[in-house]
């Protein structure tokens, strides 16, 4: 059997967007990913289907797997012909013991590649508003391990030189030894009033920063109960934090928010949450797919075949647009068959999806982008006896169809897509919910409400509504809010407009009110 290859990859300091392009490629190529606790688990979502993941994380003073065993594991996996990615927090060459792993690989004739990562020594201070160098303070910095081997107290650190160095000093993995570190620096001549800080979980949602001086920092850290993983930074650059802190000031900082809409639709919501400083946890409880029932397919094809008879075509979602044109293309129905029809869209996103296909909607509500609003608008323009085509999802409410029929229009509605329950990522999400690691939930449709509750029940939660009511619940519109209330959920805020942007604004306002 041919030998595999091992990628020794730095995952960066925690924020998954700080991994290198090459590192991300290595994750996607891997047959096996061997990872530790400082590598953000969100990166594992990039693994290809069927790839294996092996956790070899270590906790302070409690090594789950010895380093020698990890080294051997990498060799054994590669000898099986597998492509292996060893994912390590920060940069693998900065106290990451990558040299030991690479040595054994080389001794066994296994090809490897070291992929550098952004070290927490520079990234974590930057996220706390502390650049490690600044022309007004210092042009150099030192990176020092905060601990060495067990029972070995800084024998390789020249404290005299370190204390008198003019630059910034960054200690990694040293919070447990902070009292010794501070006393050693002061004892070897560093000014006790030198600014210093400890940053815990830097670049993560849980980032916390304590600022003091060498003679006060130990007490402040103990009072704040700061624990590993954390870094210590010493030097005048710490003074800049008050002015330059940016990460912790973003509107959604510290908020981990559950996104429940279908993966195909979630990208904009995820992007807006993370632009505002939050962390989006995707649990797409909805899977959108074309109809599989034969009767639904026949009804849709017949409706599409009669396109030239419609006076109006009504679209109430981006999915409705996507799947209608997808099926038209499969049936080779020319878009010019719509020539007689005016087009109505429920809101701006649906309008944009139509415009991307060269169609300008004739009717779009100015606000409150929901079926009831569109119905009232259409009644001003649709005449009794006209033919309306409504391509919809299988769970669409009957508001539009029934309302237009009562008004005297002939309505042909057909399911162009189906909404089914998805449990993808469910176990991980359940663990985060039960551990209190998720702070808020977004509902973007009635289906996301009912599907999330059903998903949690299927995953073994006896009281889904009770579990969710511990969190802040946000809804995109009144119909969704009503569905939530009918299912025993207490929605904190409903977006002013039924748009993703308005939903994120509502979350940011709520978070801002809590900070005051």
Which residues are catalytic, by number? 36, 58, 173
- Asked whether 35 and 42 are in contact (CB, 8 A), the reply is no
The span from the CA of 120 to the CA of 145, in Å, is 12
Other residues' Cβ atoms within 10 Å of the Cβ of residue 248: 15
Instruction: Tell me if residue 95 falls in helix, strand or coil.
Output: coil
Give, for 169, the enclosing helix (H) or strand (E): strand 168-172
- Name, in order, each residue with C-beta under 8 angstroms of 453's C-beta and a sequence gap of 6 or more: 464, 465, 468, 487
In which order are the strands placed within the sheet that holds 111-115?
52-55, 32-35, 83-88, 5-10, 111-115
| Rounded to 5°, angle at Cα 311 from 309 and 317 | 105
The span from the CA of 453 to the CA of 284, in Å, is 12
Structure tokens at 2: 């041919």
- Asked whether 13 and 119 are in contact (CB, 8 A), the reply is yes
- Asked whether 8 and 103 are in contact (CB, 8 A), the reply is no
Pairing verdict, β 230-234 and 62-63: unpaired
- Could you write out the three-class secondary structure of 399-458? HHHHHHHHHCCEEEEEEEEEEEECCCCHHHHHHHHHCCCCCEEEECCHHHHHHHHHHHHH
């Amino acid at each position: 059997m041919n030998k595999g290859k091992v990628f020794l990859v730095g995952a960066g300091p925690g924020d998954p967007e700080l991994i290198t392009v090459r590192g991300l490629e290595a994750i996607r190529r891997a047959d096996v990913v061997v990872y530790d606790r400082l590598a953000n688990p969100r990166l594992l979502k990039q693994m290809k289907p069927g790839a294996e993941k092996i956790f070899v994380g270590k906790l302070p003073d409690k090594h789950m797997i010895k380093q020698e065993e990890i080294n051997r594991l990498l060799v054994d996996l590669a000898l099986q012909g597998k492509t292996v990615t060893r994912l390590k927090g920060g940069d693998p060459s900065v106290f990451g013991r990558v040299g030991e792993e690479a040595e054994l690989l080389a001794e066994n004739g296994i090809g490897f590649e070291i992929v550098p990562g952004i070290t927490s020594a520079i990234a974590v201070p930057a996220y706390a508003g502390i650049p490690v160098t600044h022309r007004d303070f210092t042009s150099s910095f030192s990176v020092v391990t905060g601990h060495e081997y067990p029972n070995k107290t800084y024998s390789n650190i020249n404290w005299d030189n370190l204390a008198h160095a003019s630059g910034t000093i960054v200690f990694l993995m040293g919070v447990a030894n902070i009292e010794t570190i501070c006393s050693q620096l002061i004892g070897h001549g560093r000014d006790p009033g030198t600014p210093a800080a400890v940053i815990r979980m830097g670049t993560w949602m849980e980032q916390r920063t304590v600022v003091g001086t060498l003679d006060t920092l130990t007490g402040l850290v103990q009072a704040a109960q700061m624990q590993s993983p954390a870094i210590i930074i010493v030097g005048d650059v710490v003074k800049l934090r008050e002015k330059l802190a940016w990460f912790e000031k973003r509107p959604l900082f510290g908020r981990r928010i559950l996104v429940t809409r279908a993966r195909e639709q979630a990208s904009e919501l995820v992007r807006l949450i993370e632009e505002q400083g939050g962390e989006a946890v995707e649990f797409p409880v909805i899977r959108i797919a074309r109809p599989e029932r034969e009767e639904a397919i026949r009804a849709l094809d017949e409706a599409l075949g009669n396109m030239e008879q419609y006076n109006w075509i009504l679209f109430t979602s981006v999915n409705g647009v996507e799947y209608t044109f997808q099926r038209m293309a499969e049936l080779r129905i020319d878009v010019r068959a719509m020539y007689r029809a005016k087009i109505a869209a429920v809101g701006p996103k649906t309008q944009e999806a139509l415009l991307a296909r060269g169609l300008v909607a004739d009717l779009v509500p100015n606000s409150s982008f929901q079926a009831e609003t569109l119905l009232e608008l259409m009644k001003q323009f649709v005449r009794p006896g006209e033919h309306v085509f409504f391509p919809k999802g299988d769970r669409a409410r009957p508001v539009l169809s029934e309302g237009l029929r009562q008004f005297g229009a002939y309505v042909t509605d057909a399911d162009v897509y189906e909404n089914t329950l998805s449990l993808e990522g469910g176990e991980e999400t359940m663990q985060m919910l039960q551990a209190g690691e998720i702070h808020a939930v977004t509902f973007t449709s009635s289906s996301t409400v009912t599907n999330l509750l059903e998903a949690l029940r299927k995953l073994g939660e006896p009281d889904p509504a009770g579990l969710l009511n511990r969190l802040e619940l946000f809804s995109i519109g009144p119909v969704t809010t009503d569905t939530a209330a009918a299912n025993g959920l207490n929605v904190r805020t409903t977006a002013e407009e039924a748009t993703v942007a308005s939903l994120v604004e509502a979350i940011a306002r709520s978070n801002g009110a809590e900070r005051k």
